[in-house]
Amino acid sequence: MRASYDRIIAFVIALGLLVAGAGLAYAGPYEDALAGFTTDDFSDTADAVNAIAASGSPLAGPLIEALQEGRLSFSAKDKKVYIKTKNGALLDAATGKPAEGAAPDDIEAIRLNNRLRGVVDAAVGGLTLMASDPNRRYDAAQAVFKSRAADVLPALDKALAAETNVRVKKAMTEARAAIVLTAEDSSVADKIFAIAVIRDRGDQDALGLIDGLPADQPDAVHKAALAASGKIQSTLAIWSTVQNAWYGLSLGSVLLLAAIGLAITFGVMGVINMAHGEMVMIGAYTTFVVQEFIRTRNPALFDYSLAIAIPLAFLVAGSAGVVIERTIIRFLYGRPLETLLATWGLSLVLQQGVRTIFGPTNKDVGNPSWMSGAFDLGGITITYNRMWIIVFTGMVFVALLGMLRFTRLGLEMRAVTQNRAMAAAMGIRTARIDALTFGLGSGIAGIAGVALSQIDNVSPNLGQGYIIDSFMVVVFGGVGNLWGTLVGALTLGIANKFLEPFAGAVLGKIAILVFIILFIQKRPRGMFALKGRAVET
Amino acid sequence: MSHPLIRMLDRGATLFLVLLGAFAIAIPVLNLLVPPGSALHVSTYFVALFGKYICYGLLALSIDLIWGYAGILSLGHGAFFALGGYAMGMYLMRQIGTRGVYANPILPDFMVFLNWPELPVYWYGFDYFAYAALMVVLVPGVLAFVFGWFAFRSRVTGVYLSIITQALTFALLLGFFRNNFGFGGNNGLTDFKEILGFNVQVETTRNALLVISCLALALCFLICRAIVTSKFGKVLVAIRDAESRTRFLGYRVEAYKLFVFTLSACMAGIAGALYVPQVGIINPSEFAPGNSIEAVIWVAVGGRGTLIGAVLGAFVVNYAKTYFTSGILAPYWLFMLGGLFIGTTLLMPRGIIGTYYHWRANRTEKKDAAVPNAAPHAAE
């Protein structure tokens, strides 16, 4: 085994020497092309690049790479081209060996302009089409699709014939279609076929290519191009709708997460908790502390940091909620406006407290590996953190719904929501339920903070950004009904994202606020209002 | 039934007006006539500061009128204040004329900077003080009327109303932050030169503005007193305490609330208009929901439903703010402010003046109880 390895290496070295030797002995297309670099003329350089790319010489790759990176120089006097290696050595481009003697004094870097850069990129594309890494081949095919350099066509055909990877093969077919379509001498049938291939690609680049065709096409091609353009546009429109819906869903789930705790406390107790945003902030800071702890003690656990932070955040924010209820809110029942002011004051205290402890700057909370990155789904890109937040919100919502429906505490909470006096008469300790409800709402806000720490800046003002939006969700969805909150959050999230493209982010938001102000006129108690006597209290 | 004027000017109100008058005379005298070296001299810094407090007092008064007497808790009154301020700011911007950095005869500096081709239509007329003064009252008034008309007609009350007023000011905040709104965007309006031909920077103008602010406060106070001591005011209190019952008795609750809400917004607008030349800037941060809520706490601290208390609260809280935020205690100011919110609502829900009234009422009650056959004192 060892011996055969050595033999192969020896063979390769021998081959390399042979090629180099042949290069020295006979001036091949590669060596001829090199002369084109020494004239300091852009069109000569372009021709030289194309000739070198087509030469098939093993030196072509490093040479063009050097040109792309500005490491290729020439000497007009000696008619020689030099490659400067990354560590500063000077190679003779014709042989690939270190240049003999001192560097000539008129050595000068070969200049590139924008057109030339396109030519070079295309050449690189052509050369890397045969690379062993499928991802590099794919990128090369995409580069060819964009450059549409006709010179690459032979290389592309060769690569296409050898290609086995389906994804790369598709990209190469598309690249080939792009070249065929833009080449002037292709037949009408070839062009129409190419249009079909590009139409199936269906993205913005494809649309640009087809719409950018010169006007003097044969009728049949022109017609096919028009049809394809329409088809691509409708595909793109569908994908952009899907994209908006996805973003809206993502925003909606964030809103839902932030608002759902508020909906519970407001629904059950009629209490407006202005410090709700600060409970979210506390949750986010809990995540920060957990991650800091893991970083210093056991970095291997980092991927589990969120799993640890979620129950902790629930406990920390939840117990803060119980304490707040016991010390402040319970003295203010029946005075909702005063509660509002007191909790606002509390939010100021909590913000300033966190600012004093952790400092006013943003804290760095990292994404675990399973939450970073993205994948493509059809025409849209989905980031893992957004996706997991949607999933997580769904889980929290279902868990909460189940808790309210099937547990003793849930039953008692619903009883207190519907009729406090009657619930008390039936032996439910309403004061205890109030404290637990407030704790539950705050705890869920804490969990929301864990999720938000993954997509937002963790700073003392984190909660402030969500409080008004959360109120809008609760007011819009109606009080005392989780489904109302769900529908409210998703509606507002999606509406926001659909308004953004043509109204801008800020105007879109203003439009939503105005809409809610008007909506509340029509249905003062929200979409899913409680009916019956509870309304008038 | 006593004469309306006597009812309006009870002992507290008279005392307040006398103190306010003394203040309006004393500060300019101590600033302009007493030489700077004297211990009694009041520096121009304090003149501007007190002028600012008076404007805050007027804002607090307008909030007390609706919150203390009609039970409408607006968390967006800062929006009306800021709109009045912007109307005045626009007039002051027009007065700069060619003295701006770009010396453009027609466009204010920020419009030149942002390449506006011409003056937007809504800036027309602000060259004239009378028009600007009208807008100071009209813009907040119309907004409050439209908003209130929708809100009260559909019986949006309590915390729901508070939240949508907060949404209103938040929406305005976002809007005014935009450059293409035509109000200077993030930077707002500033760099003012003169008002009615008087340089806004000089001492005499500052003192005059202080006196005018005091006059405006006194006038608005009298209007508020006239309202709350009239039959109209009694209906407002009835609405505050039992809205449905008042409606069943045949009163058009919406109309009462709408009137008082609009009036209050106009007053807030005047406060804003007087505030801007004294601080020399108006920018979108005045619309921040936090500012409006802070104004509500002034009222709560001073005593809700007492009018005098609102002004007192504005003075006390803002003086504390100036005092604490400028010293070594600055990082703790938000703790204090937050504590003030909690403490006032929990421990002193009547506020300073309210607690005093309550204590006095209790004392008279005890005295009355000592006299046999005395008429039972009306509950507060």
CB-count exposure of residue B283 (10 Å: 0-12, 13-18, 19+): buried
pLDDT of B224: 96
Chain B residue numbers with beta carbons less than 8 Å from the beta carbon of A520 are: 151, 154, 156, 160, 164
- Of B151, B166, B331, nearest to A521 by CB-CB distance is B151
pLDDT tens per residue across span B325-369: 887 888 888 899 999 989 999 998 899 999 999 999 999 888 877
Share of chain A above pLDDT 70, in %: 91
How many Cβ atoms are within 10 Å of A292's Cβ, its own excluded? 14
Pick the range with the lowest mean pLDDT from A93-107, A267-281, A474-488: A93-107
Chain A residue numbers with beta carbons less than 8 Å from the beta carbon of B67 are: 337
- Of B153, B167, B345, nearest to A517 by CB-CB distance is B167
The CA distance from B357 to the nearest CA of chain A, in Å, is 20
Looking at the predicted structure, is the pLDDT value of residue B88 above 70? yes
pLDDT of B375: 45
Q: What φ, ψ does residue A454 adopt, rounded to 5°?
A: -80, -20
H-helix segments, A359-429: 384-406, 408-418, 420-425
Mean pLDDT of all residues in chain A? Answer: 82
Which is nearest to A82 in space by CA: A114, A58, A110, A60? A110
Write down the residue that tokens 């924010």 correspond to: A317
A381 - beta bridge partners?
A: A376
Looking at the predicted structure, is the pLDDT value of residue A18 above 60? no
Q: A513 and B167 in contact by Cβ < 8 A?
A: yes
Q: B164 and A475 in contact by Cβ < 8 A?
A: yes
Chain B residue numbers with beta carbons less than 8 Å from the beta carbon of A517 are: 147, 150, 164, 167-168, 171
Mean pLDDT of A510-532: 76
The CA distance from A517 to the nearest CA of chain B, in Å, is 6
Band of the pLDDT at B133, cuts 50, 70, 90? very high
User: DSSP string covering B77-89, please?
Assistant: HHHHHHHHHHHHH
| Best to test chain B binding among A330, A468, A530 (most B CBs inside 10 Å) | A468
pLDDT of A23: 45
The ipTM (two decimal places) reads 0.86
Show which residues on chain A lie within 8 Å of chain B, measured between beta carbons.
270, 272, 328, 331-332, 335-342, 344-353, 356, 468, 471-472, 475, 506-507, 509-510, 513-514, 516-518, 520-522, 524-525, 536
Write down the residue that tokens 């340089």 correspond to: B199
Q: B162 and A272 in contact by Cβ < 8 A?
A: yes
Chain B residue numbers with beta carbons less than 8 Å from the beta carbon of A328 are: 342, 346
pLDDT tens per residue across span B238-277: 999 999 999 999 999 999 999 999 999 999 999 999 999 9
Measured on CA atoms in the order B16, B19, B25, B29, is the torsion positive or negative? negative
| Best to test chain A binding among B335, B341, B346 (most A CBs inside 10 Å) | B341
Q: How far apart are CA A443 and CA A322, in angstroms?
A: 9
Band of the pLDDT at A27, cuts 50, 70, 90? low
Pick the range with the lowest mean pLDDT from A345-349, A443-447, B43-47, B257-261: B43-47
B163 to chain A: nearest residue by CA? A471
* Ranges of each domain in chain A: 2-112, 116-217, 255-481
Pick the range with the lowest mean pLDDT from A2-6, A394-398, B74-78: A2-6
Looking at the predicted structure, is the pLDDT value of residue A445 above 50? yes
Looking at the predicted structure, is the pLDDT value of residue A141 above 60? yes
Q: Residues 43-72, chain B: which have Cβ within 8 Å of A?
A: 67
Instruction: Tell me the CA distances in angstroms from A197 to A382, B51, B253, one per residue in order.
Output: 26, 74, 70
Mean pLDDT of all residues in chain B? Answer: 90
Q: B163 and A471 in contact by Cβ < 8 A?
A: yes
B336 to chain A: nearest residue by CA? A349
Instruction: Determine contact, residues A511/A468, Cβ cutoff 8 Å.
Output: no
Q: How far apart are CA A314 and CA A300, in angstroms?
A: 24
Element (H, E) at A37: none
The two beta strands, B189-190 and A72-75, are unpaired
Q: A506 and B174 in contact by Cβ < 8 A?
A: yes
- Of B75, B170, B297, nearest to A513 by CB-CB distance is B170
pLDDT tens per residue across span A186-240: 788 888 888 888 888 877 788 888 887 777 777 888 888 888 888 888 888 888 8
Looking at the predicted structure, is the pLDDT value of residue B374 above 70? no
Which is nearest to B222 in space by CA: B50, B8, B369? B8
| Best to test chain A binding among B333, B346, B350 (most A CBs inside 10 Å) | B346
Contact of B347 with chain A, judged by CB distance below 8 Å, is answered with: no
Looking at the predicted structure, is the pLDDT value of residue A25 above 50? no
Name the token pair of A509: 């938001």
Pick the range with the lowest mean pLDDT from A259-273, A303-317, A519-533, B8-22: A519-533
Pick the range with the lowest mean pLDDT from A56-65, A313-322, B110-119, B302-311: A56-65
Chain B residue numbers with beta carbons less than 8 Å from the beta carbon of A356 are: 331
Band of the pLDDT at A313, cuts 50, 70, 90? very high
How many Cβ atoms are within 10 Å of A131's Cβ, its own excluded? 15
Q: What φ, ψ does residue A72 adopt, rounded to 5°?
A: -100, 125
Q: How far apart are CA A363 and CA B273, in angstroms?
A: 41
Q: B162 and A340 in contact by Cβ < 8 A?
A: yes
| Best to test chain A binding among B345, B346, B347, B348 (most A CBs inside 10 Å) | B345
pLDDT of A5: 62
Looking at the predicted structure, is the pLDDT value of residue A534 above 70? no
Band of the pLDDT at A65, cuts 50, 70, 90? confident
Share of chain A above pLDDT 90, in %: 21
Contact of B17 with chain A, judged by CB distance below 8 Å, is answered with: no
Chain B residue numbers with beta carbons less than 8 Å from the beta carbon of A525 are: 160
Contact of B300 with chain A, judged by CB distance below 8 Å, is answered with: yes
Strands across the sheet containing A90-92: A90-92, A80-84, A72-75, A108-109
A330 to chain B: nearest residue by CA? B346
Instruction: Determine contact, residues B293/B286, Cβ cutoff 8 Å.
Output: no
Q: A347 and B244 in contact by Cβ < 8 A?
A: no
The CA distance from B150 to the nearest CA of chain A, in Å, is 6
Looking at the predicted structure, is the pLDDT value of residue A297 above 80? yes
pLDDT of A2: 54
Instruction: Tell me the CA distances in angstroms from A206 to A119, A177, A361, one per residue in order.
Output: 20, 11, 45
Band of the pLDDT at A536, cuts 50, 70, 90? very low
Eight-class DSSP state of A325: H
The CA distance from A262 to the nearest CA of chain B, in Å, is 13
pLDDT of A368: 85
Mean pLDDT of A398-410: 92
Chain A residue numbers with beta carbons less than 8 Å from the beta carbon of B300 are: 338, 341
- Of B164, B171, B297, nearest to A520 by CB-CB distance is B164
pLDDT of A29: 74
* Ranges of each domain in chain B: 4-370
Contact of B167 with chain A, judged by CB distance below 8 Å, is answered with: yes
